[in-house]
Amino acid sequence: MEERKIILRLHNQCKSLREIAELVGKPRSTIQGIVDRFCKNKSLKNLPRSGRPPALSQNDERFIVRQIKKNPKMSAPKITGELKMRGNTVSEATIRTALRENGYHGRIPRKKPWISAVNRQKRLEFAKKYEMADQSLFDNIIFSDESKYNLFGSDGKVKVWRTANSELQPKNLAATVKHGGGSVLVWGCFSSHGVGKLVFIDGIMDHKMYINILKENLKKSAEDMGIGQHFYFQQDNDPKHTAYNTKMWLLYNVPKQFSTPPQSPDMNPIENLWSYLESRIRERHISSKVQLKEALLDEWTKIPRSLCKKLVDSMRRRLQAVIKAKGYATKY
């Protein structure tokens, strides 16, 4: 507005349009428009624009954003009802458009374990304790866990991209067999030096079976990985891992332990190794549990040491992520 006043003052001083344009650094056409508009309307203000007025005021938009900040799971119909109570009736599409314009987009929420307040505090304390630990500590940890592999894919839903009327083509089908096809449960371990033993678990695994697995495979795995006997052992808080007999065996046989807090799969990089193994075996044609076991063993031994090192090197970032999230779930 001040610039327009200067232009008008220069015009009243009988300056030419070209002179004014050079003085204020604007195109001659812009100067002409401002002068003509003042001569016609006796005002330097812009005239009201034609067209439909916006359905939402700035206050309404701020209200919508506040509601989403408080509850990201609030639906568009719910917000529409809230606005109606404020005296403004708009469509759900208008609400969604306003949210997108403010940087909010509807997404399927990631599935993460629910973490209690007590365990959030434990996770936070654990992360702060080891955040600045020397990398040599992480390099000497043997991470362990159990995992299940199904004969015909995962337990979750699987999408297939296909064209119309091609649903019965073999490549577009999800194969099933009577009684489910079965699954294989495994125990495994790894460190930054590579993978250890992969053990198949037959039947229901209790603390006795778990202790036997550790007896027969843990120290042998450490030797195969070149760590020796001075390693730290990591396991989660599964009941068979924390049973009294298991604790006693570990106390006398594996005194150095790196016990991650409850509800903390993001602090155990072996979870990523299981996913990698799953992706590798799904590239094969497997039609029996025998073939599934053979594929698992073969792909397990092929896991590159560089991948193991990369996963262990992520430990400090994982701990920092826990601290940043104040004990809540992280992206890992």
Contact 102, 108 (CB under 8 A): no
**% of residues, the chain, pLDDT over 90:** 51
The greatest distance separating any two alpha carbons of the chain, rounded to the nearest whole angstrom, comes to: 102
Confidence (pLDDT) at 244: 95
User: Does residue 170 register a pLDDT over 70?
Assistant: no
Identify which of 187, 192, 242 has the alpha carbon closest to the alpha carbon of residue 215.
187
Average pLDDT, the chain: 87
Confidence (pLDDT) at 178: 41
Greater confidence, 140 or 42?
Answer: 140
User: Does residue 319 register a pLDDT over 70?
Assistant: yes
User: Does residue 198 register a pLDDT over 50?
Assistant: yes
Summarize the confidence of residues 40-53 as an average pLDDT.
Answer: 74
Helix, strand, coil percentages, rounded to 5, for the chain: 50, 10, 40
DSSP for residue 185? E
User: Does residue 173 register a pLDDT over 60?
Assistant: no
User: Does residue 104 register a pLDDT over 80?
Assistant: yes
- The set of residues, in sequence order, having a beta carbon less than 8 Å from that of 290 and lying 6+ positions away, is none
Q: What is the pLDDT of residues 144-158, one digit of tens each?
A: 999 999 886 544 455
Q: What are phi and psi of 115, to 5 degrees?
A: -120, 125
Greater confidence, 322 or 287?
Answer: 322
Radius of gyration of the chain (CA): 33
Confidence (pLDDT) at 176: 47
User: Does residue 294 register a pLDDT over 70?
Assistant: yes
Confidence (pLDDT) at 156: 47
* DSSP output for 252-312: HH---B--PPTT-GGG-THHHHHHHHHHHHTTS---SHHHHHHHHHHHHHT--HHHHHHHH
Contact 292, 286 (CB under 8 A): yes
- Beta bridge mates, 257: 233
Identify which of 323, 309, 332 has the alpha carbon closest to the alpha carbon of residue 126.
323
Highest-confidence segment of 115-119, 186-190, 227-231, 251-255: 186-190
Q: Could you tell me the pLDDT band of residue 15, with boundaries at 50, 70 and 90?
A: confident
Summarize the confidence of residues 308-318 as an average pLDDT.
Answer: 96
What the block records as the tokens of 27 is: 């195109």
Confidence (pLDDT) at 233: 96
Q: What is the pLDDT of residues 112-147, one digit of tens each?
A: 778 899 999 999 999 999 999 999 999 999 999 999
3-state secondary structure of 152: coil
Confidence (pLDDT) at 107: 80
Identify which of 223, 150, 238 has the alpha carbon closest to the alpha carbon of residue 189.
223
**In the sheet where 232-234 sits, what is the strand order?**
194-201, 183-191, 141-150, 232-234
What the block records as the tokens of 148 is: 């299940």
User: Does residue 51 register a pLDDT over 80?
Assistant: no
Confidence (pLDDT) at 159: 57
Q: What is the pLDDT of residues 65-98, one digit of tens each?
A: 999 888 888 888 899 998 888 888 889 999 999 9
User: Does residue 219 register a pLDDT over 90?
Assistant: yes
Q: Could you tell me the pLDDT band of residue 180, with boundaries at 50, 70 and 90?
A: very low
Confidence (pLDDT) at 266: 93
DSSP for residue 116? -
